[in-house]
Structure 1
Amino acid sequence: MRSRPLVALLSLLQLGTLYGQTPQQPDSLQVDSLPAATEHILAPESVSSKALARIDSLAEAGLRMGAYPGCQIFAFYQGEVLVNKAYGSLTSLKGRQGEPATPQSIYDLASITKAAATTPALMLLVGEKKINLNSPLLSYLPETKETLLGMVTIRQLLLHQSGLPAGINFYTDLIDDTSYEGSLIRYKSFAGGVPLVGKAWGNPNFRFLDKYISDKATEEHTLRFGSKKYLSPSFKTRMMERLLSARVSSDKSYRYSDLNFILLQQVIERVSGEPLDEFVTKHIYRPIQARLYFNPLEHGVKIQQIAPAQHDTFLRGEILRGTVDDEAAACLGGVSGNAGLFGAAEELAKVCQLLLQHGAWGKKQVIPSSTVRLFTETTSASGIRALGFDKPRSSGGPTGIYASSATYGHQGFTGTCFWVDPKYDLIFIFLSNRTYPTRQNTTLIRERLRQRLQDLVYEAVGATTPR
């Protein structure tokens, strides 16, 4: 695979110069600013302009369905930007007037964080032989020594074969259990209840424990939990206690779990001596000039540039805009191994291209090429996961039907995805805030719009052989 970061950056430069646009987001990474790509679809002679036009049609159909207020689509093929376009608005469903989405709008990337932050950080530490994939957690987190968790390996965490449950509602320990009547969470509707994820309903009539949550920043409450709520860093100790006491099944078959990547974050931070956000910014994002952020509001990003993730009427009682949607990540102050990353598609594309080029960026080898291959080409016995990445399925699954079996990437709960296909030299990114105003909106998922849009990109470049 030849290294082409300059080609990609020149494509963005040419588009920005042609249309006279400048970046909307600040450059908190202290690198030279790049002109931003405008809303545009390129149609080289080898690409079907009719197929590209169908991308427009389907994206706009999604707006009419109310699948999302707006979205971004980015496609990069053999060194050229094919699509870098935004549709709809940041805040209004079904085409109603709202704040227009642009290619520079910033989205909550949700679980893409696992593959675009935590996994690249691990790649670096594995490449430097500071972490061994086959070593158990107790090698890096001695507090796990007396638990079954201590014997779970780094490899098992990356493959989601740890035996851990899917998640833990850590936030329940933030709440004064004497402040509400009945159950905090129930699995059927009730008067005054707020629908949560799946069949769960929550009682919003509670009070937070003062030792953990404050309505203003204090010496003890320094982490952002909401726009007007601040969290004590001491809560991390309580979270770790719950993780250490979590049931670890002897069945190590695949079960997707956010807890795996929360633990991997602790490993990264313990080994590197740096918080995850600082480590990945310094060693990954800054070298490739990618403007990706944890806690974007703390990096000078204006709130109007950020798509709201949801109107949280249960836990934080506000519209989450620039504050992470995921509750577990919020309990860590917005920096977590499982979620918390924000960015635009054209910025995320730089990380994808770095991976596609086996860690090379110009003349610099940002991540050892052998390590990138190890992570992206090693798969579980079932073949549905790589190390830190999701993979296509034999049928259905998270990708379209034309993505090759070599494809790797990840989806995000808020309505996002990225996919890197080395066989076709193709990157596809879709970002949306399908969870705004409510997480109950599953039209994007039910209609498989991400997968169908991805297929249209493959059709545009003539790669129409189902895997």
Structure 2
Amino acid sequence: MAHSQVPGSKSIPPGLPEGSLASLGVDSAALHHRVDSLVHLGIESEAFPGAQVLVAFQGKRIFHKAYGFHTYDSLWPTRESDVYDLASVTKIAAALPALMKLTGEGQLDLDAPFSDYWRPWKRRRDKRNLTLREILAHQAGLEPYIVFLSDVRSRQGLRRRFVRESPSAGFRREAYPNRYVRNRFVRKMYRKINRSQVSREKTYRYSGLAFLLFPQLVEDLTGEPFDAYLRKHIYDPLGLDHLGFLPARRQPGSVVVPTEADSIFRNDLTRGWVHDENAALMGGVSGNAGLFGTAADLAVLMECYSNYGKYRGVRILDSATVREFARVQFPDNDNRRGLGFDKPLPDNASLPLQEAYPAPLASPRSFGHSGFTGTFVWADPENQLVFIFLSNRVYPSREHRQLYELGLRKRLQQVFYEALISTP
């Protein structure tokens, strides 16, 4: 696949350049042993059947290793080139780059009422004055989540009014093979979001609702479909061939790690189609979930963020805009969040590892996001460290919560901080 470029830029070679632990004075065998032990603990505890860890330091990939298998029957070993359902990492790897691009170009104003761009909110008294800054920092008081799947299911099964097993003129949105959603159902989703309650108490309250609206917002502002806009302006210029939506259609030969054995909507082991039901009902392209990718592609994107929008000499995003999005917005409201980005807990460095988020050694300037399927990405500009962890912890069921209980992601991240940041 040929990479498109930012006009006037040089072509970017794919992937991060290779570095070595030995050149950094790190005991490679000891580091590998510590990481291997933690990941194997996760596999043995059935936190996930397989996983991979990628770490970049000072702009170079110094660790990338795949562990375990796609499923517990140990038939398909995990490989470094595997594609994962990124879940809520979509928020910072798809919605945010588009919003940052448009903000940097002056097409979006973080402090203007969001209703200037999403007109139905002009008619909603509790939403008309909410700003994009408040929404992205989860400070707007929006409802956390709406389960739209409840609209398409009854005790008898899926409602044919909304979901059919074969496509037709009115049912073109493919949520999964043999699951076609009524074209106009997305309007019903928008209406429910528009009418949803807003808390009068403006405190930190995580909400993914607006991220369901952002793809349409991007198309309204640019005239380009959300996924096409990202491909043209972000992914292709960075050489990110495997980062995208709908891999089962876009890259049918790619190896996608399965997620959940779903008995509610798909009645199948979900592989290559988004796990999140809300994103699925939108046809697989959303700002809250639906993005798939490899660890290598995510590392490039996070390295670009760590350099505040620049990668290998090529400017992708406006530097001041990325810095603003990566900054804590409402520290006086006990809100750690940036704009879309997650941030370390206040006083994180002084917390014990079991209470910290993420690793205690992550700097206050660092930022990233986690995903429901077992994904986690983090960039630390101050320490020049990018950490990627990918797993399918929802296999075979989302009830598997050992990943959280064991705190494996921050424990792994801390291992690399201890090995790399203390080196001369």
Same fold (TM over 0.5): yes
Paired position in structure 1 for 2:279: 329
Alignment-derived partner of residue 211 in structure 1: 161
- Whether contact under 8 Å (1:309, 1:325) holds in the other structure is yes
SS at match of 1:241: helix
Distance 1:36 1:404, change over 3 A: closer
Give the percent of matched residue pairs that are identical in Structure 1 and Structure 2.
Answer: 37
Secondary structure of 2:378's match? strand
Are 1:109 and 2:89 matched, yes or no? no
- SS in structure 1 opposite 2:370? strand
Name which of 116, 122, 126 aligns with 2:99: 122
Which of 1, 9, 27 is the matching residue for 1:48? 27
Question: What aligned pairs does 1:229-244 form with structure 2 within 5 A after superposition?
Answer: 229-244=179-194
SS at match of 1:143: helix
Cα deviation, 1:52-77, whole Å, max 9, x if unaligned, reads 33112211221111110111100000
1:68 aligned onto 2:21: no
Q: 1:385 aligns with which of 322, 337, 345?
A: 337
Instruction: Give the direction of change, closer, same or farther, for the CA distance of 1:432–1:385 in structure 2 (3 Å limit).
Output: same
SS for the counterpart of 2:326 is helix
Residues 181, 281 of structure 2: 8 Å contact kept: yes
How far, CA to CA, are the matches of 2:4 and 2:395 in structure 1? 32
Structure 2 stretches lacking a partner, 5+ long: 6-10
Query: How far apart are the structure 1 equivalents of 2:18 and 2:319?
Result: 33
SS at match of 2:220: helix
Choose which of 325, 342, 347 in structure 2 pairs with 1:375: 325
What is the distance in 2 between the residues matched to 1:332 and 1:371? Answer: 29
Task: Quote the residue 2:359 is aligned against.
Answer: 400
Question: Does residue 139 of structure 2 align to residue 161 of structure 1?
Answer: yes
2:381 corresponds to: 422
Matches within 5 A, 1:60-459: 60-92=40-72, 96-147=73-124, 148-175=126-153, 177=154, 180=155, 206-290=156-240, 291-302=242-253, 305-381=255-331, 382=334, 384-393=336-345, 394=348, 395=351, 396-459=355-418
The two structures have a TM-score, normalised by structure 2, of 0.90
Q: How much has 1:218 moved relative to structure 2?
A: 2.2
Give the C-alpha shift of residue 42 in structure 1: 4.3
Count, aligned residues: 406
C-alpha displacement of 1:274:
2.2
3-state DSSP of counterpart to 2:174: strand
Q: Secondary structure at the match of 1:286?
A: helix
Aligned partners of 2:35 and 2:413: how far apart in 1? Answer: 9
More off after superposition, 152-161 vs 372-381: 372-381
Q: Distance between the aligned counterparts of 1:425 and 1:36, measured in 2?
A: 17
Which piece of structure 1 moves more, 358-367 or 59-68?
358-367
Q: Closer, same or farther in 2 for the Cα pair 1:140/1:35, shift >3 Å?
A: closer
Residue 377 of structure 1 aligns to a residue whose secondary structure is coil
Unaligned runs of 5+ in 1: 1-26, 181-205
Q: 1:97 to 1:52 in 2, by over 3 A?
A: closer
Q: CA 1:231/1:34 → structure 2, altered by over 3 Å: closer, same or farther?
A: farther
Whole-Å Cα distance in 2 between the matches of residues 215 and 270 of structure 1? 31
Q: 1:252 to 1:275 in 2, by over 3 A?
A: farther
Shift of 1:174: 1.7
Query: C-alpha separation between the residues in 1 aligned to 2:175 and 2:158?
Result: 12
Q: Kindly indicate whether the alpha-carbon contact (under 8 Å) linking 2:87 and 2:371 is maintained by their aligned counterparts in 1.
A: yes
Distance in 2 separating the partners of 1:167 and 1:98:
36
One-letter amino acid matched to 1:114: K
Question: Equivalent residue of 1:76, what SS?
Answer: strand
Is this contact kept in 1: 2:85–2:259, CA < 8 A? yes
Does structure 2 retain, via aligned residues, the 8 Å contact 1:43–1:82? no
TM-score, normalized by length of structure 1? 0.82
Please name the residue that 1:19 is paired with.
Answer: none
3-state DSSP of counterpart to 1:418: strand
Amino acid at match of 1:392: P
Structure 1: which amino acid aligns with 2:253? K
CA apart distance, 1:412: 0.3
1:21-41 CA distances to partner (integer Å, 9 max, x unpaired)? xxxxxx486799978899998
How many Å apart are 1:436 and its aligned residue? 0.5
